[in-house]
Amino acid sequence: MIKINSIIHFIVKRMWLKYSLMIVFFTFLFLFAQKPLTPTRTYCGEYIKVSKMGFVLFCDSYQYIYLTSKPSLLLDSNFVAVRQNRPLYIYAAHVIGLPVKFIIDEIITTDFFKSMGGEKHLYQKSINDKLISSPFLKIYHIDDHKNLVIELLPFYIAFIFLNFIILLFSLCLFEKLLIQLKTERFVIHFLSLFIVCSGIVKAFFFSAHEQMFVFFTPICISSIIYLFLNNRIKQTQLLLISFGMGILCLAYGSFILYFPCLGIAYLIRQKSIRITTVLIKDLLPSAILFVIPTFSWIFVCTHYSGHYFNGEVSTFREFIWIKDALSIGFFHFLYVCLDFTFRFLNTVMLTLIPFFTAVYLLHKKNKNYSTEVEQKEYFQFLKWMFVLFFLFFLVLGYYNFRLTYTCVPILLIFISLEIQHLLNNNLIDRNKLYKRFRTLSIIWIIWSVFKYGPFPFQ
């Protein structure tokens, strides 16, 4: 018993190990979740059966994997790469995929692999023909490829590694932030479940897709601003961070919200909403460094391929829908606004309402007790950050539960502050709370694993 306790203590104290085991455990459980009962064409993906287990491979995975196997296609002038605006994500997976490809190439040439019958699994004509006929790959003229399975498998594995890394970083950064906010560890572990054991992980972990950034983006931004508001970042460090966040915009578009969040933090710190010359002078260097990576990549694309393609704007008309609707007429614009608002609120009902309700009830119980001075500014920032993210996804013009879930980590930070405040003021019994969390954790895990879906676009 002492040895078991020692092992548990060892794991808990090492964040990377603890959360790595959690990710492996829950993603394994998700393999036993219900498969889609509807025809394949009613959701964007394909159910991949592995023995008695399986998962949905999101439809965009084909394009991501193929581009990652040949990233030079991003700058090919003969056609438009639909993911041209996401080079960092593709090149990162390519770098990870190269050693994986080397290992796989070495393994498949061994006599042991052949004696185990490995060739019959990797060299199936039916699968290769299926990949070649995929509407997501036809645009790349892949008819001359002998075996797409061998070519694409290493880079598919690379995306799984990348999903693992992004999710692990998100969980570790989430715990570090909550520790700085003086949140007790059992509260952190409970709230982490809503990240690692969530519908986003269930639907997208086994796909080549950026959706693990749904967690990392808000957690990363809120962590940086916490350090900024508490004077733990020097000006030179802030400039480097702004440049780094600009680079991350080349992996996931929502990182664009970093700079508005930084602007909000400056306004909160100066305790005024006035836009002064001093404020502009302070923000301008960060703004320039923040946009340099995107404008540089646009220039590179235009110079070498003759074009720059942003699928979110060109295909889904994100934000541009406002101009499109107004060009038809004002009443049409109002109709579209109403339609889009209802669509967005539908995703809110699926994702945010339970967490928002928890924040409201906890805050109501806490309202007669003052917040710690060092957390007041950060609490104020979180409120405006949530409003910013909420409005951003409302005006986007493309609505899905996975995008709205980006607001959940912000609400989880709110919940951690409120729960810890209750504990600090002895408004709730610690032991009772721990037992309730344990029961709720079991209920959440069972519900997350065995509920039907989510299947993207169903």
- pLDDT recorded at residue 54: 87
Q: How far is CA 82 from the centre of its chain?
A: 20
- pLDDT recorded at residue 92: 96
Side chain identity, residue 26: F
For the chain, give every domain's residue range.
Answer: 209-450
pLDDT in tens, 248-278: 999 999 999 999 999 999 999 988 888 888 8
φ and ψ at 54, to 5 degrees? 175, 170
Q: What distance in Å separates the CA atoms of residue 344 and residue 2, rounded to the nearest whole number?
A: 51
What stretches in the chain show pLDDT beneath 50? none
Six-digit token pair at 313? 């704007």
This model's pTM is above 0.85: yes
DSSP bridge pairs for 50: 53
- pLDDT recorded at residue 372: 63
CA-nearest of 88, 85, 122, 127 to 105 is 122
- pLDDT recorded at residue 39: 61
Alpha carbon separation from 239 to 91, 246, 409 (Å, rounded): 24, 11, 25
- pLDDT recorded at residue 272: 82
CA-nearest of 269, 285, 226, 260 to 390 is 260
Is-contact 32 448, C-beta < 8 A? no
- pLDDT recorded at residue 140: 63
